[in-house]
Amino acid sequence: GENVEQHPSTLSVQEGDSAVIKCTYSDSASNYFPWYKQELGKRPQLIIDIRSNVGEKKDQRIAVTLNKTAKHFSLHITETQPEDSAVYFCAASNPGGPYNTDKLIFGTGTRLQVFP
Amino acid sequence: KAGVTQTPRYLIKTRGQQVTLSCSPISGHRSVSWYQQTPGQGLQFLFEYFSETQRNKGNFPGRFSGRQFSNSRSEMNVSTLELGDSALYLCASSPQVQETQYFGPGTRLLVL
């Protein structure tokens, strides 16, 4: 069935360093890939997303790259700050159901810790 | 606009009971999706509703059900609760299907 694998499960970096989180998906029909940030005790919040007709998207210190051939996408955070510490989830759309609409399949999350 | 709201925020039930959770989407959003979040399994898709119709369903037993009202508010129901149903239940709304989803704060359910 549909599956999204996310690595690493934990990531510790020094403030100012870069952080990279990688995800692979199984369904070649997936065409939408959002990334969510969830701080402790809070709701997941969308930080960036990419659609399959684009290979890379950037928003200030955050960028996402997509390789449709290899079925993997990555989140890149540059110049990390302590407030970037949170759990990050990737997700991939998975069409199906009687109306062939998408559901989001989430990765298992990456706990990012940024040390001052 | 007000964000997605969920009630109640916390709930304690015992095995065998049933529970109903409520989600009010962002005004104008017609699609509501539900997810179960647990430390071991992460975020798992339960179902999606659009215009009062269930359009997609995840791999959960029939004890999990939902519905959507004409004002786009949605409820999910879990019958015959099991200990393993303890989790954070999140709903997310979007203007249409297959668009960016915005999450509510969740309902934390504890089954004893």
The CA distance from B108 to the nearest CA of chain A, in Å, is 11
Minimum Cα–Cα distance from B98: chain A residue: A102
Are residues A34 and A11 in contact, defined by beta-carbon separation less than 8 angstroms?
A: no
Please count the other Cβ atoms lying within 10 Å of the Cβ belonging to residue A87: 18
B56 — contact with chain A (CB < 8 Å)?
A: yes
B80 — contact with chain A (CB < 8 Å)?
A: no
Candidates A34, A101, A104; nearest CB to B55: A101
- The residues facing A101 across adjacent strands are A96
Give the model confidence (pLDDT) of B52-111 as tens digits: 999 888 899 999 999 999 999 999 999 999 999 999 999 999 887 667 889 999 999 999
Task: Give which of B6, B9, B29, B43 to mutate to test A binding, by max A Cβ within 10 Å.
Answer: B43
d(CA B98, CA B19): 28
d(CA B47, CA A53): 27
**What pLDDT does residue A102 have?**
74
In terms of C-beta density within 10 A (0-12 exposed, 13-18 middle, 19 or more buried), how is residue A14 classed? Answer: exposed
**What pLDDT does residue B42 have?**
82
B56 to A101: CB separation less than 8 angstroms, yes or no: yes
Candidates A42, A93, A99; nearest CB to B55: A99
**What pLDDT does residue B100 have?**
84
C-alpha distances out from residue B18 to A116, B13, B60, Å? 46, 8, 16
For chain A (116 residues), the mean pLDDT of every run of 10, in chain order, is: 90 98 92 93 94 90 95 97 96 75 87 96
d(CA B109, CA B38): 11
Residue among B89, B85, B99 nearest B26 (CA) = B99
Q: Which residues of B touch A97 (CB under 8 A)?
A: 55-57
